[in-house]
Amino acid sequence: MESIKLDHCVIHVSEWERSNRFYQDVLGAELIPIGAGWSYRFGETQLNCHGPNVEGTPNAQLPVMPGGSDLCFIWPESIQAAIAHLSQHGVEVEVGPVERFGSRGHGTSVYFRDPDGSLMEFISYER
């Protein structure tokens, strides 16, 4: 069997406009309108969003509430460039830089929060 890949996961947001700005400006997402809501696309991976006037079906047994997600994104440059990028957007680094192990092996990460309080991570594999 060919290797499977993650197609999408779901997050819950409390305000579309604020979340759309953050995910587009800070994380570089392509905004995809879906019905009354949005999805955030990163190349071949997508975050589907539940939020105001949008609830998916079927739903997880314990749906994630706004602020309840923990996501890691590969940062394509040095971790110092990631820190500078976050600073430019007024996003505070909560933890890091710290050594972590991700899908490509050992890397360096910084942690920060989205507008709802979900934990976000940039990991850089640049050495």
Calpha distance 94→88 (Å, rounded): 15
Please, are residues 12 and 66 in contact by the beta-carbon 8 Å criterion? yes
> How does 11-41 read in b/e, with b if 16+ C-beta sit within 10 Å?
bbbeebeebbebbeebbebeeeeeeebbbbb
From 17, 44, 121, 126, the catalytic residue: 121
Calpha distance 96→112 (Å, rounded): 9
Q: Is 99 a catalytic residue?
A: no
Q: Please report the beta strands in the chain, taking only residues with DSSP state E, as ranges in sequence order.
A: 8-12, 30-34, 37-42, 45-50, 70-75, 95-102, 105-113, 119-124
Q: Which residues form the catalytic set?
A: 121
